[in-house]
Structure 1
Amino acid sequence: MLRKSTFPLLLFSLTLLVACSSENQSSSDFENIQFADDNGGITLPAGFQAVVVTEGVGSARHITVDDDGDIYVALSSDHDGNGIAALRDTNGDGVADSTAYFGEYTGTGIALYNGYLYFAPDTAVVRYSMEGVDLVPTAEPEMVVTGFPDQGSHAAKPITFDGNGNMYVNIGAPSNACQEEGRTPGSPGMDPCPFLELQGSAWRFDANATGQTLQEDGYKYATGYRNAVALEWNSAADNLYIVQHGRDQLNTLWPDYFDAEDNAVLPAEEFFKVDDGDNFGWPYTYYDQSRGEKMMNPEYGGDGETPYTGDEYENPIMAFPGHWAPNDLIFYTGDQYPSRFSGGALIAFHGSWNRAPLPQEGYRVSFVPMDGANPATDSYETFADGFSGTDSLSSPGNAEYRPMGLSQGTDGSVYIVDSKQGKIWRVFYTGE
């Protein structure tokens, strides 16, 4: 695969030789790369260009890339009975010219760790040995963790690994706001919410052990969020982070307090720094980004004006508009992009379904500059856009693409995968 080269720069004041930054990248570094004329239908900031790796591998979820540039994509629906797609670029032009499918499971979480490809169906985590593998593993998968609840909603199991031999798994809450009668106008919330015993929580496991179960081997690391498909360990900060999906239907369930315009923007999608033992307040509270504070959910006595006044629940480090659906998160560790991207967070927003009668929103990849463990500013920016294919979208079914998964290659390029067709873009900084 293409490797980023560096160029010596003479610093006259110090007479030192250092590697040139990516802002001065030579166009000759990309002479073999087959960039798409229109970036494959998406828009990128000035100086960035995209290759279309493939037009589609199927119903893609998360994505991971190995040191040689081979790509592995989790699928939510099987392809001829297989749940993982493997892609390879054999001539270095950035476009995959070999695609294979394998694996008996479908799911969301996928990651390479310590010589194995880890994959998470909705009720387990398995791993495939990659020792001696060309592209597709041939050994049967090993069961890493079983015993996850079998649930109809928020069942996805994203996974991530820290630097200390631990694996973290999301267990979403199969509920909107833990009502006694789910999604029923005026129904009060259950207190305490029984789902939080196992669900609405991030769990920690031994990354190197097999045969584990949730009940016997899992450690509940943090709790009190609705669902977090975007879950990532930030090695620079040595910390876990999530971006949660906020609740729905404030106006239809509580019309005395909220109207359609309120529901279109509330509650925020919250970006959390996750420490051991944290509780983020779902289902009792939600976050109002316009007020900058946690509010009591109407199922628990709130009326849209009543803030949460306790200190048990953690606030987000950043808040995004409601219903954007954050579905993946990575922290940029390469040097192929300009230096301001170093350590920053890229978040794939799958896009909303429930802002009607207002247009649907999200459908983009956003960038948050980071200063160590926290955002460097109080704002975020759009990194990749245009996935919906229209300026005004009434339904997610009409979107051309929906950004779902992110991964960084060893050369510092970033991969984006769409869930509708499984289209994959690979984004470089070229300075042009």
Structure 2
Amino acid sequence: MKKISLAIGVLLFAAAFTKPIIEDPIKKEIKLDVDNGGIKLAAGFGAVVVAEETGKARHIVVLPNGTIYIKNSNAKDNKGITMLKDTDGDGKADIKEFFGNYIGTGMEVYKGYLYASSNSEVFRYKLNENGDVIDKNAPETVVSGLPDFRQHESKPMTFDEQGKMYVTIGAPSNICQEKDRQKGSVGQMPCPLLEKNGGIWQFDANKLNQKQEDGIRFATGIRNAVAINYDPFSKNVYALQHGRDMLFQHFPEMYSAEQGAELPSEEFLLVKKGSDFGWPYSYFDKEKGKKMLCPEYGGDGKKEYPKADKPIMAFPGHWAPNDVLFYQGNQSGGVPFPAKYKNGAFICFHGSWNRAPKMQAGYFVAFVPFKNGLPSGPYEVFAEDFAGGPEIKSPGDAKARPMGLAEGADGSLYITDSVKGKVWRVMANK
């Protein structure tokens, strides 16, 4: 059984602008699970299951005192936030509590507050110096009244160092047709949804009771970006887009079934103020390396759409990227991850429903090396086998689906599962 020694000490809770980090409160040998909790990891790593059955877990934060908060998309015990604590330092949570009467996805910590989103609001809870929520029943409302049409309704958020909060507002549509997902229905030009959807909005992180009109549309042309994060190294906002569906189903004369499974590519976006990534008028084809005009807007699989900003990297279609974490690697105790991981990006691919006739794909955590704010090499598979086997035919067959990411002060990587709420802590071996 592999063991990893962790350092002594409790850190007081400090202001943070990215997903926070932890240091274990008690010096104790953590025994990694023999089977890594059922997943396969890159060589040199092991995992311990921190908790199971935490709810349909989405995004996660881990605080300086070791407390874990998880946002749920389906309420556990009629609550939408899970709190976990490991009081004896063995790596496994022995306290589990639930609070918050709303479901959702977004969860972050910023300047002494726990921020959590429903599908139409962003709330925050004041934390004490130990990282505990002071009043679980009385969150402050930061933003309310955001669009919620029960399609791409998640409202994940991230924060920069200047007090700005960035919130995804997904488009409640496949491709902005007059009749959504109807074969033969043409795309609307211009797309009216882009006025309040299909982009990333910027708000004041420290101001309460804002509405959408109090923010600014920071970037547009993004169908849906559940994975969004601010990178403290490059000082940029990044997101990953869920691409459109039904190229083959609606246009079999232009796309084969195999092309429909691979297109459009899932896009890794460097998001700047004023960026326009082209939804719904275009999609990205990573084999061509080009933005292509969607057939609903006159495309034929060959016509380009040069107006849109390109991604910095692209992945095969329908992998569903749902979180991204820029690895800081500032270890306090523990065993450091190899140097190549520092400043790079981990990405959770959640898996999708429309890869037929090919097998389901995604369901793994990738690593992308970075240099000077851009990918510096191809992605690598870091953690896989969450789904329980390569032959699953639909997401409903998956035993687990990787969803959220957080980093610990010792360099541990935490991964959540959206099926039952399993939480893994991945650590480098001695």
Match of 1:314 among 309, 313, 316: 309
TM-score by length of 1: 0.91
Q: Distance in 2 between matches of 1:241 and 1:79?
A: 30
Q: Distance in 2 between matches of 1:338 and 1:288?
A: 33
- Counterpart residue number, 2:419: 420
Q: Distance in 2 between matches of 1:134 and 1:211?
A: 24
Q: Distance in 2 between matches of 1:3 and 1:116?
A: 27
Aligned-residue offset at 1:350: 0.3
Q: Distance in 2 between matches of 1:31 and 1:51?
A: 14
- Counterpart residue number, 2:193: 195
Aligned-residue offset at 1:31: 6.3
1:252 is paired with a residue of what secondary structure? Answer: helix
Q: Distance in 1 between matches of 2:241 and 2:27?
A: 37
| C-alpha contact 1:2 1:411 (8 A) present in aligned 2 | no
- Counterpart residue number, 2:255: 258
Shift of the 134–364 alpha-carbon distance from structure 1 to 2, 3 Å rule, reads closer
Aligned-residue offset at 1:30: 9.4
- Counterpart residue number, 1:18: none
Match of 1:327 among 322, 327, 336: 322
Q: Distance in 2 between matches of 1:49 and 1:305?
A: 46
Q: Distance in 2 between matches of 1:134 and 1:331?
A: 22
Q: Which amino acid aligns with 1:121?
A: S
- Counterpart residue number, 2:172: 174
Aligned-residue offset at 1:56: 2.2
CA deviations 1:291-330 (Å, max 9, x no partner) are: 111111111111112222x3x3111100000000000001
| C-alpha contact 1:102 1:136 (8 A) present in aligned 2 | no
- Counterpart residue number, 2:83: 86
1:212 is paired with a residue of what secondary structure? Answer: coil
Q: Distance in 2 between matches of 1:245 and 1:358?
A: 18
- Residue 131 of structure 2 is aligned to residue 112 of structure 1: no
1:404 is paired with a residue of what secondary structure? Answer: strand
Shift of the 30–49 alpha-carbon distance from structure 1 to 2, 3 Å rule, reads farther
Q: Distance in 2 between matches of 1:4 and 1:226?
A: 44
Q: Which amino acid aligns with 1:55?
A: E
Q: Distance in 1 between matches of 2:38 and 2:418?
A: 15
- Counterpart residue number, 1:389: 388
Shift of the 134–348 alpha-carbon distance from structure 1 to 2, 3 Å rule, reads closer
Matches within 5 A, 1:228-307: 228-307=225-304
1:286 is paired with a residue of what secondary structure? Answer: strand
Shift of the 121–2 alpha-carbon distance from structure 1 to 2, 3 Å rule, reads farther
Aligned-residue offset at 1:288: 0.6
Which has the larger displacement, 385-394 or 224-233?
385-394
Shift of the 274–116 alpha-carbon distance from structure 1 to 2, 3 Å rule, reads same
Q: Which has the larger radius of gyration?
A: 1
CA RMSD of aligned residues (A): 1.7
Aligned-residue offset at 1:2: 7.0
| C-alpha contact 1:251 1:258 (8 A) present in aligned 2 | yes
Shift of the 68–2 alpha-carbon distance from structure 1 to 2, 3 Å rule, reads farther
Aligned-residue offset at 1:106: 1.2
Q: Distance in 1 between matches of 2:187 and 2:386?
A: 37
Q: Distance in 2 between matches of 1:55 and 1:66?
A: 19
Q: Distance in 2 between matches of 1:100 and 1:155?
A: 26
- Counterpart residue number, 2:376: 376
TM-score by length of 2: 0.91
- Counterpart residue number, 1:24: none
What is the number of residues matched between the two proteins?
404
Aligned-residue offset at 1:392: 1.7
Matches within 5 A, 1:33-182: 33-131=30-128, 135-138=132-135, 140-182=138-180
Aligned-residue offset at 1:132: 5.5
Q: Alignment identity in percent?
A: 51
Q: Distance in 2 between matches of 1:30 and 1:104?
A: 36
Q: Which amino acid aligns with 2:299?
A: G
- Counterpart residue number, 1:409: 408
- Any gaps of 5 or more consecutive residues in structure 2? 9-25, 331-335
1:33 is paired with a residue of what secondary structure? Answer: strand
CA deviations 1:138-174 (Å, max 9, x no partner) are: 2510000012012120000001000111110000000
Matches within 5 A, 1:205-220: 205-215=203-213, 217-220=214-217
Q: Distance in 1 between matches of 2:79 and 2:345?
A: 32
- Counterpart residue number, 1:25: none
Shift of the 132–332 alpha-carbon distance from structure 1 to 2, 3 Å rule, reads closer
Q: Distance in 1 between matches of 2:289 and 2:120?
A: 36
| C-alpha contact 1:34 1:95 (8 A) present in aligned 2 | no
- Counterpart residue number, 1:359: 359
Q: Distance in 1 between matches of 2:408 and 2:192?
A: 41
Q: Distance in 1 between matches of 2:5 and 2:309?
A: 43
Aligned-residue offset at 1:80: 2.1
Shift of the 226–4 alpha-carbon distance from structure 1 to 2, 3 Å rule, reads farther
